[in-house]
Amino acid sequence: MAKRAFLIVLDSFGIGEMPDAANWGDEGSNTLASIRSHPNFHCPNLEKMGLFNIDGIGEKNLSPNTCYARMTESSKGKDTTIGHWEIAGIYSPDPLPTYPNGFPKEVIDEFEKRTGRGVLCNLSYSGTEVIKDYGEEHIKTGKLIVYTSADSVFQIAAHEKIVPIEELYRYCAIARDLLQGKHGVGRVIARPFEGEYPFKRTPRRHDYSLLPPSQTVPDILKEAGYDVISVGKIYDIFAGRGFTESHPTTGNEGGMVETIAQMKRDFHGLCFINLVDFDMVYGHRNDVAGYAAAATAFDEKLSEMLPLLREDDILIITADHGCDPATPSTDHSREYTPMIAYGQKLKKGVNLGTRKSFADIGSTILEWFGLPSDGIYGESFFKEIIDD
């Protein structure tokens, strides 16, 4: 029988500050605690699966039907790229470059030269606010709105009637080619918008990531002949490398629907999923109510997903960083993340404690498929969870 693994990343679903959180300006952050206290939060499936038994939360009110752990980010970062790379077996000793005061003049000058268009803004900005403040000038002048955030990103916003979407994507590819080496930001992001003031962002966002600096779990699986399926922005995060299929989605609902569709089909390998709305729509906008409701919606979908798992399937639910919507900051937070592993061949109620790296997940997935993990970072917990 074909083996399958489903790895779901709840983007930014942190479960409490890491010991070095203060060094990142994130002391006191706890995404889960912030949303759990809201009346919109109702997650009986995750509770039964051991979410609240994890170290640091430590409630023993149920006997979980899973194996579970608290994951530590060992890499130096708290962004999407480094978090996902670590899950997939890469340790990043240095954070990706950020530009809180905007990009250097030489970068902007070269970008303008290569694109033939001027640039507006070049500041750290909210994505919804930047189009309000610069959208009308962009329409009048045709200049591109370039902005960043606390993350390692170079974002380009443009109205679709002024800059057709394929042209915007071409400009992003130019920026990606330019931003290498010391200016190698994690992602260049196309941020198209439409309509009249105050404008509205469209769902045609597209990310252009750095190539991973070393081998990843998807690389190893693909080379071994397995299917490696991306749902959501996973394909973009890894710059497409290591994947055999990509299924882009526009948000959590689409991501969950596509995941269920993959669970219903036959394949042999890994389905790697990112549910982006927790971070993009709710965490960065300090929307506690929305974040709590999104967690509840995911929990409800678990009732549909879990019965679709076959005898030789494993489901792992985790996150890539935090983004506490209840703090004054709208940025990512340096937090532990959850890990819940579920499957018919797995033990029940196993607390794996606090793991040293997100990469333990990737190593475990490789061992699930009988592949060696000595070429990547991380320590497998496969033997601790398999029910012989």
Residues 366-370: what's their mean pLDDT?
Answer: 97
pLDDT band, residue 1 (cuts 50/70/90): low
- DSSP per residue over 20-54, as a string? TGGGGT-TT--HHHHHHTSTT---HHHHHTTGGGS
Over the stretch 100-141, which tens digit does the pLDDT of each residue have?
Answer: 999 999 999 999 999 999 999 999 998 999 999 999 999 999
Position 61 scores a pLDDT of 65
* Helix boundaries (H) for the chain: 31-36, 44-48, 80-87, 105-115, 127-141, 165-178, 217-223, 234-237, 252-263, 277, 288-305, 359-368, 382-385
Position 150 scores a pLDDT of 81
Position 274 scores a pLDDT of 98
The CA distances from residue 13 to 35, 89, 91, 93, 243, in Å, are 10, 20, 20, 23, 24
Over the stretch 255-309, which tens digit does the pLDDT of each residue have?
Answer: 999 999 999 999 999 999 999 999 999 999 999 999 999 999 999 999 999 999 9
Q: Which domains does the chain have, with CATH numbers?
A: 4-94+211-385 (3.40.720.10), 105-209 (3.30.70.1250)
User: Tokens at residue 336, please?
Assistant: 């532990």
User: What's the chain's average pLDDT?
Assistant: 95
User: Tokens at residue 208, please?
Assistant: 């252009």
pLDDT over threshold 80, residue 86 = yes
pLDDT band, residue 195 (cuts 50/70/90): very high
How far is it, in rounded angstroms, from Cα 324 to Cα 285?
10
DSSP state of 138: H
pLDDT over threshold 90, residue 203 = no
What does residue 34 show for φ and ψ, rounded to 5 degrees?
-65, -40
pLDDT over threshold 90, residue 58 = no
pLDDT over threshold 90, residue 59 = no
The CA distances from residue 256 to 196, 216, 231, 363, in Å, are 32, 24, 9, 25
pLDDT over threshold 80, residue 62 = no
